[in-house]
Structure 1
Amino acid sequence: MTITDTSAALRVPPAAPADAVSFFTARLAFQADVSDVRASLDSGDPGFVLLDSRATVAWQQGHVPGALHLPTAEIPARATDLLDPAVPVVTYCWGPGCDGATRAALALARLGYRVKEMIGGIEYWIREGFAIETANGIEQRPADPLTSPIGSTACAC
């Protein structure tokens, strides 16, 4: 009996190292996590536009400070007026259970923009204890200890 016969995680064996390199490199070309997005924004020159693709009511409920609001449905009509095609775009929506950021990224890619998706969305932005902007100003909640290191701005991963 081999380990692949007894291990649920290895029923399908891991990919060959070269295939894994290709896959994970591609994945990082399409996605950025909230910690890396925040570090880039904090630098003062992130090199991208952060785009919140949610509806107006969601935007008003709270959004990442400095983000541009452009609901996914409006991208085809408004993107060229709001975005410089030479500047990459990072999209976000609600969170991992929502495909809104993916749909927004697809709409932008179809228009010729270079784009990434912020994985985790506003949910993980908030869960990591990062500030959001609302009609009342900047708000910040404590980090969720199940999803973020306490007392640190980054997980160092």
Structure 2
Amino acid sequence: MSMTSSVLAFPPPEAEASAVWLAHKLAYYADAWDVAEDLANGVTDIVVIDARSAQAWQAGHICGAVNFPHRDMTPESLARLDRSKVYITYCDGIGCNGSTKAAWKLASAGLRVKELIGGLDFWRRDQHPVVTGDSPGEWPQQATARDCGC
């Protein structure tokens, strides 16, 4: 007797359709390991934006990030950004939509953007460098992105 599958109640799409959809998903999001690896390797094509308030940023932020609260993003302030960069937005974590609001504002201004999956919460869980205070901070020479096992 065959059991009814909850997983297969909605059959998966054909492989080609899955590949297209998953490529689109990866185009919109970056994870902590990939961002940490790029920062550790000195990749200059990305800019990590902390979309939270200045007070939250000072209490702890991704090493190398710049603080640009989504509430302060205006067409005028966004026009000053380098259009050759890809911006990675983050906030506290999956329970916060500040990174989504920032990403939307950046994209609406014609800038290329991705959201950091899990925000600062997942970044800390993966034990990547966090800095406090007003400075973006320098990526520590001894800190490198570790293999996440993915």
Q: Shorter-chain TM-score category?
A: 0.7 to 0.9
1:45 matched to 2:43? The reply is yes
CA deviation after TM superposition for structure 1 residue 135, in Å: 2.7
Q: Which amino acid aligns with 1:60?
A: Q
Residue in 2 that maps onto 1:55 = 53
Residue in 1 that maps onto 2:16 = 18
Distance 1:79 1:67 in 2: 16
Residue in 2 that maps onto 1:153 = 146
TM-score (norm 2): 0.85
Residue in 2 that maps onto 1:87 = 85
Whether the 8 Å CA contact 2:45–2:86 is kept in 1: the answer is yes
Residue in 2 that maps onto 1:78 = 77
Equivalent position SS for 1:90 = strand
Structure 2: gaps (5+ residues): 138-144
Residue in 2 that maps onto 1:100 = 98
Higher RCO (CA < 8 A, seq sep 6+): 2
Write out the 4+ residue segments of structure 1 that deviate beyond 3 Å after TM superposition. none
Equivalent position SS for 2:49 = strand
Distance 2:41 2:2 in 1: 50
Taking structure 1 as reference, are residues 46 and 2 closer, same or farther at Cα in structure 2, changes over 3 Å only? Answer: farther
Residue in 1 that maps onto 2:142 = none
Whether the 8 Å CA contact 2:49–2:66 is kept in 1: the answer is yes
Aligned residues: 141
Distance 1:21 1:112 in 2: 26
Residue in 2 that maps onto 1:69 = 67
CA deviation after TM superposition for structure 1 residue 79, in Å: 2.2
Whether the 8 Å CA contact 2:60–2:132 is kept in 1: the answer is yes
Equivalent position SS for 1:101 = helix
Distance 1:2 1:65 in 2: 53
Distance 1:69 1:135 in 2: 11
**Superposition RMSD on alpha carbons, in Å?**
2.0
Whether the 8 Å CA contact 2:103–2:113 is kept in 1: the answer is yes
Whether the 8 Å CA contact 2:86–2:112 is kept in 1: the answer is yes
Structure 1: gaps (5+ residues): 139-151
Give percent identity, aligned residues only: 37
Distance 2:118 2:39 in 1: 16
- 2:125 corresponds, among 124, 127, 152, to 127
CA deviation after TM superposition for structure 1 residue 72, in Å: 0.6
